[in-house]
A and B are shown apart, each in its own frame.
Chain A
Amino acid sequence: MKYVCLIYTPNDGQPPSAEMDALMAEYASMSEEAMKRGILTGGDRLAASASATTVRVRDGRRYTTDGPFAETKEVLGGFMIIDVPTLDEALAFAAKIPGARHGCVEVRPIADRGA
């Protein structure tokens, strides 16, 4: 069962600092461990939400707006794709993502194309 962990955090495009370095090191070590166990299949950190552009097409016309889809205090800062047997393992993994401590992690199954 594949799930994507969407990591929402209040640290939107924060400049480098000792704190950020420590956080990134924590992400690196947990990702490495999860890859070794064969759980983590992909993911990445996103650039600051200010760099986002939102596109909609209505009646064949393209509308482009500056910024993310929703302006919120916590923004989508990264994602991880995992493959585990059930939601319980997915939630246990999500709880270990550093972003879960200061932001939140949305765990969504990837749509099953099979059945």
Chain B
Amino acid sequence: MAPNEDREQIDRLFRRESARAVATLARVFRDFQRAEDAVQEAYIAALETWPAEGIPRNPAAWIVRSARNRAIDTLRRDKTAAVKYELLARLENITLPDPLLDDEPIADDRLAMIFTCCHPALAPETRVALTLRYAAGLRTEEIASGFLVPLPTLAQRLVRAKRKIVEAAIPFAVPEPSEMPERLNDVLSVIYLIFNEGYHASHSSDLIRVDLCADALHLANVLERLLPAEPEVLGLQALMLFHHARHAARVDDTGAAVPLEEQDREQWNIVSAARARALLAQAARHRLIGPYQLQAAIAGVHTSAPSWDATDWQQILALYDGLYTIEPSPVVALNRAVAVAYARGFDQGLALVDELLRDDMLTEYAPALVAHAELLRRAGQAQSAITWYERALSLTHAEPERRLLERRLTECSQTSANP
């Protein structure tokens, strides 16, 4: 093997396996930085020994063992560490799989890692960055480019988060069953945030951006294997896959967003949609409904409709009723009001939307203003619709959405000029 090939293969293995090693050591140290430093030393050791001795059968276990041994050496030399002996004892007690024989993954540590990264004591943008770095194994530069954040800002955010985890003693543990629903919801919302960031940025001209949608789907898949009894994990996967299925039809050749009603349904990815439906059916067998399953079911009704006019709005409204019972937020109320408009008539829907827009929570929320404008336009009130499209446009920054709103404004002014 040529030295370059060795290097590439070792890099690839570390990239794939080091997340697990960092997770195991972070649990022992309760400190990401120490864990990362130890894994970095293991990487250097691998570069020295693997080319000569060959790649071990279970590289993940080799990395953990080697990183642990190096951490023990470092600690023994460290005269200042007050917790040295406790840490040494914990390091020596890690149960290690045999790197030559065992294929057993180190599952619990990764799960604890995900819950730590998504801990509610951390700011939401920090949870996203930590999860991508330590649960998905992305490099700091990749996360920075994915979120269009300057690299030093992102690096600083990670440093502060790691310090807070140590200083505030945020635990490396899978939550108690009594706390699981709430904590799992925090994890799922981080994954969905990552997905949405990728989804809305995927038409950006910036080709170096990483595929955050794929990372979110991968994380949800890891979580499914670690928590097979949680139907909401399946629900979130189904929801993301239904969105993913409509991906290609979302933007036209000019770069303008295409609303659902005008999308070319032939372009929808039937494989993703079928996979989403299967996941949703699998979730339903647990008989424990939740917000992600309901949102996925709504997306599923849209995806199953042969055309916009053939959409089963009665079923969509029933699902929104259920969602609103579990999650009575202004945004859910707004989406429900739109469903009311299509299921029972524009007058009823518009009355609800009017009422909701008096709530401060929604007056600066562009999708709410767009929804209002769309209903007014469909109800034949083009002149009123213009005001709302203009307000929505002033709050919208994404280029594809701006182009769609500009087109709607042109359509409405033509209609109101020639009624």
Contact = CB atoms under 8 A, between A and B. Distances in A.
A1 B169 contact: yes
Contact of A86 (B81, B169, B179): B169
Interface of A: 1, 85-88, 90-91, 107, 109, 111-112, 114-115
B169 A87 contact: yes
Given A87-B121, A91-B121, A114 B83 contact: yes
A87 B80 contact: no
Please provide the 7 A-B residue pairs with the shortest distance between their CB atoms, ordered closest to farther.
A114-B82, A86-B171, A1-B169, A86-B169, A87-B170, A87-B168, A115-B82
A90 B120 CA distance: 13
A88 B82 CA distance: 23
A94 to B, nearest CB: 11
A73 B124 CA distance: 26
B167 interface: yes
A112 B168 CA distance: 10
> Which secondary structure characterizes the binding site on chain B?
loop
Nearest to A115: B82
A49 to B, nearest CB: 27
A58 to B, nearest CB: 29
Nearest to A91: B121
Contact of B167 (A85, A88, A91, A112): A112
Most chain B C-beta atoms within 10 Å of own C-beta, residue among A88, A90, A91, A111? A88
Nearest to B80: A115
A27 B296 CA distance: 45
A39 B175 CA distance: 20
Nearest to B82: A114
A111 B167 CA distance: 8
Nearest to B178: A92
Contacts of B81: 115
Nearest to A112: B167
Most chain B C-beta atoms within 10 Å of own C-beta, residue among A85, A87, A107, A112? A87
Contacts of B173: 86, 88
A16 to B, nearest CB: 36
Contacts of B170: 86-88
